[in-house]
Every structure is written in structure tokens, then in C-alpha cells.
DNA sequence: TATGTGTATTAATATTCTTAATACACTTAT
DNA sequence: ATAAGTGTATTAAGAATATTAATACACATA
């Protein structure tokens, strides 16, 4: 399913969460399908079940997974996690914009920035 | 000059740097004037000189101070640190905007967001 | 040359983070 | 009922990181 990179100096759970998130975002995991159980993935990757659990918890926190008690963890429908993801990013963007205003950067410059970033390859 | 809050759980140097930055940004410290020496401020606040040094290093890194070898640290001219500050914030804003694009948030929504944030009290 | 300045280096200590061990709670198939 | 599968909570050990302090250095200037 995924492969851990032991040269990567980030913690295992973070690396796992990131790889799984990318897998889900790129469509490598079908929505509504069951994820491997915490224990089976732990065995497969030779880590402690709690490490997998922590990665799953992170993904659930971000809306990519949901859990049914006693049955397992499942991939969320795309529309849902897409909305969650956009909400998170939207909030960060708003904070960054408020800071820009506070620092005296004029609105026109931001608008020009949007044109540039969105125009770079196909608006 | 400043007062440390011992209920604050952030490290001392960070707290000091933040308070001094606010003082400079709000005009409480005249540009081009000398800062208290590392040792004198350390005595005044009952901390190790290195702790003050670290706060000063942070402020210098962010462009609020500059140092003349053997003579002391001085407050940067406002135009300079303002430019540095805007550059930092501008870069963060660009990163946030690129993320927004990648998440599929349309440019129009960002532009509407700018209108709202900049319009809230006097554009 | 003595005193005042910032800085580098090193070490002690404190704090936080990561991972593991273990036990619990719930669901379902036998 | 019970066994085997699921996720989760709690606790602790260990590692890693961050913070602060001790000390010595380098430069400027009176």
C-alpha cells in the first residue's frame, strides 16, 4: 500500500499520514472503501499499531477518513473531504490576507498577485 | 523597558522578542537609537545575557535591529524594517494563494475575500 | 589598557515528542 | 456465548529537541 522511507527524518506517523493523504487525493484509494486495519498495516510496515492509529487519527481529523466503531476506517467521499480541505485552506488564506492588510500591502497588489498565480498555466 | 510575564509559558527569549517587536512597530522605540546593552537588560530582567542576545538576534534577523561591532545594537529605520516585514508577509500570502489555487478555490472567491477584508473599516 | 559592547561554544537542564506496551470497548461471525 | 476482528484510551519509556546558563572570545573606544 505505502512504503516508509527510513532516511526521512520526520516521524513515522507523519510520513504515513502524508503518503496516505496523497494517495487519497490522487484517487489511489476508492472513496467508501475500507482502509487496512490498524493492526494489519502495522504488521505490514513493521511498526507499532499505535503509530498507524495516529496517522489514521490525523487523516480522520482532516476529513479524509471516517470510522465505524468495531468495523473499521473508511475513505470519505471525495466531495466531503474536498470541502473540508478547501475550508482549511480558505481560513489560512484569510489570515494571510488580514496580515497583508495590517502590514500595509495594498489590495491592488494582492489582486495582481492572484492574476499572476492563477494565470501561470491556464486560468 | 519591558516586563516579563512568568505565567506566559512561551520561552523567555520569544516573549522578549515579541514585546520588543511590538514596541518598535508601535513607535515606542525611536529608530536609530541604541538598544540597552545585552548585559544591562539581562540584569534589569534577571535573566542570562544569552537570553537577551537571542531575542536581539531574532529581531536582527527580522530586520528590526542592526548591530555595530563593539558599539551596540540599534533600531533600524522604519522604512527598512517595514519593507522587510512586507516581504515576509507577501511571501506567506503568495504561498497561501498558491495552495488555494491548488485546492480548486476560484480566483473570484479570493478577490471577493480581499474586498471583504480590506473593506471592513475603510479601504 | 580597562571597560563596555556583541558573539561563539559548550554544557546542563527542562520540555516535548515519538513510539511502544497494554488494556478496553464495540461489532460480527461462529 | 464466545472468539476474533475492529478502533481507542492510557500510561510509560526513550529519544530528540529546545531553553537557559556558564564561560571565553573579539572588537571598539575612552
Which DSSP state fits A29?
Answer: S
Domain-embedded: residue B6: no
The pairs formed by A53-57 with CB atoms below 8 angstroms and a separation of 24 or more are: A54/A13, A54/A17, A55/A13, A55/A14, A55/A16, A55/A17, A55/A20
What residues of B are in the A interface, CB distance below 8 Å? Answer: 82, 85-86, 89-90, 92-101, 103-105, 107, 109-111, 113-115, 117-118, 123
Whether residues B84 and B49 share a domain: the answer is no
For A85, the domain range is 79-119
Distance (Å) from CA B52 to C1' C11? Answer: 19
Which nucleotide is nearest, taking the CA of residue B65 and each C1'? C6
With a CB cutoff of 8 Å and minimum separation 6, the contacts of B75 are B24, B29, B30, B31, B32, B33, B35, B64, B65
Whether residues A16 and A72 share a domain: the answer is yes
Domain-embedded: residue A30: yes
Out of A75-79, A118-122, B60-64, least confident range: A118-122
From chain A, the residues in CB contact with B123 under 8 A are: 107
CATH number reported for the structural domain that contains residue B21 in this entry: 1.10.10.10
Using pLDDT thresholds of 50, 70 and 90, give the confidence band for residue A121: low
Whether residues B72 and B99 share a domain: the answer is no
* B82 neighbors B89 (Cβ within 8 angstroms): no
Distance (Å) from CA B70 to C1' C1? Answer: 16
pTM to 2 decimal places: 0.85
Whether residues B46 and B95 share a domain: the answer is no
**Per-residue model confidence as pLDDT tens digits over B99-114:** 999 999 999 999 999 9
Whether residues A71 and A96 share a domain: the answer is no
Domain-embedded: residue B7: no
Whether residues B40 and B92 share a domain: the answer is no
Q: DSSP H helical segments within chain B, as ranges?
A: 12-25, 38-45, 49-61, 78-102, 107-119
Neighbours of B107 (CB within 10 A): 17
Alpha-carbon span A35 to B49, nearest angstrom: 54
Domain count, chain A: 2
What residues of A are in the B interface, CB distance below 8 Å? Answer: 82, 85-86, 89-90, 92-101, 103-105, 107, 109-111, 113-115, 117-118, 123
Domain-embedded: residue A3: no
Q: Looking at residue B101, what is its pLDDT?
A: 97
**Per-residue model confidence as pLDDT tens digits over B18-58:** 999 999 999 999 999 999 999 999 999 999 999 999 999 99
**Cβ A72 to strand C below 7 Å:** no
Whether residues A24 and A50 share a domain: the answer is yes
**Per-residue model confidence as pLDDT tens digits over A35-54:** 999 999 999 999 999 999 99
Alpha-carbon span A56 to A17, nearest angstrom: 7
* A91 neighbors A102 (Cβ within 8 angstroms): no
Whether residues A67 and A102 share a domain: the answer is no
Amino acid at each position: 500500500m505505502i512504503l516508509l522511507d527510513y532516511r526521512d527524518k520526520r516521524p513515522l506517523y507523519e510520513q504515513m499520514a502524508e503518503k496516505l493523504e496523497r494517495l487519497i487525493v490522487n484517487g489511489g484509494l476508492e472513496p467508501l472503501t475500507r482502509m487496512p486495519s490498524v493492526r494489519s498495516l502495522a504488521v505490514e510496515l513493521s511498526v507499532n499499531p499505535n503509530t498507524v492509529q495516529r496517522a489514521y487519527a490525523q487523516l480522520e481529523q482532516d476529513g479524509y477518513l471516517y470510522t465505524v466503531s468495531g468495523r473499521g476506517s473508511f475513505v470519505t467521499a471525495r466531495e466531503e473531504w474536498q470541502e473540508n480541505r478547501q475550508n482549511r485552506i480558505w481560513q489560512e488564506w484569510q489570515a494571510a490576507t488580514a496580515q497583508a492588510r495590517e502590514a500595509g500591502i495594498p489590495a491592488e497588489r494582492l489582486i495582481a498577485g492572484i492574476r499572476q498565480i492563477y494565470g501561470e498555466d491556464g486560468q
